[in-house]
């Protein structure tokens, strides 16, 4: 066992904690850009809906690791803000695929553009390979959490 492993793990914990704290602040700011009444935790839902285009509530709940009841309440809130819509599935009347409305997509894309510009500003001095490695390592870490 590497004698530096505990210290290295403490360093990882420290940096992840700092990143998560900053991420919560950034999510709050970006959520307000999308809609002044948007719950900051809902930005991640919008991100998944933008990525998936259309997804059933049960599939989204499984992907996010949250209960259907909790997710349904969040989706109801997003529907009330005009950002998300439920559609009928002609093949399964019990299913209601979710997707962003045109307004939800427009607002999300504008806020995301602002967020990506901030990432670009932060990473512009990094070597291209370092940014690619960073993205790959974050993906690997997130995949390990699933």
- pLDDT, tens digit, 9 for 90 and up, residues 65-99: 889 888 999 999 999 999 999 987 777 777 779 99
What pLDDT, on a 0 to 100 scale, did the predictor assign at position 3?
60
Q: Which fold has domain 5-145?
A: Arc Repressor Mutant, subunit A (1.10.10)
Contact in structure between 84 and 52 (CB atoms under 8 Å): no
Contact in structure between 67 and 61 (CB atoms under 8 Å): yes
Q: What is the dihedral of CA 8, 9, 15, 21, to 10 degrees?
A: -170
pTM listed for this prediction: 0.76
What pLDDT, on a 0 to 100 scale, did the predictor assign at position 4?
63
What pLDDT, on a 0 to 100 scale, did the predictor assign at position 130?
97
Q: Distance (Å, rounded) from C-alpha 112 to C-alpha 40?
A: 14
What pLDDT, on a 0 to 100 scale, did the predictor assign at position 103?
96
What pLDDT, on a 0 to 100 scale, did the predictor assign at position 2?
57
What pLDDT, on a 0 to 100 scale, did the predictor assign at position 87?
85
- The ranges assigned to domains in the chain are 5-145
Give the tokens for residue 65.
């690791």
pLDDT-flagged residues of the chain (< 50): 1
């Amino acid at each position: 066992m590497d004698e530096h492993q505990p210290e290295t793990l403490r360093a990882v914990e420290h940096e992840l904690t700092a990143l998560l704290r900053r991420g919560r602040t950034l999510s709050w700011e970006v959520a307000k850009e999308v809609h002044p009444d948007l719950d900051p935790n809902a930005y991640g839902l919008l991100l998944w809906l933008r990525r998936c285009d259309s997804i059933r509530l049960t599939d989204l709940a499984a992907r996010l690791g949250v209960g259907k009841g909790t997710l349904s309440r969040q989706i109801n809130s997003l529907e009330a803000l005009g950002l998300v819509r439920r559609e009928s599935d002609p093949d399964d009347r019990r299913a209601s695929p979710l997707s962003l409305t045109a307004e939800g997509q427009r607002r999300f894309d504008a806020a995301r553009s602002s967020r990506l510009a901030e990432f670009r500003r932060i990473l512009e001095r990094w070597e291209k390979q370092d940014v690619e490695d960073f993205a790959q390592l974050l993906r690997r870490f997130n995949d390990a959490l699933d």
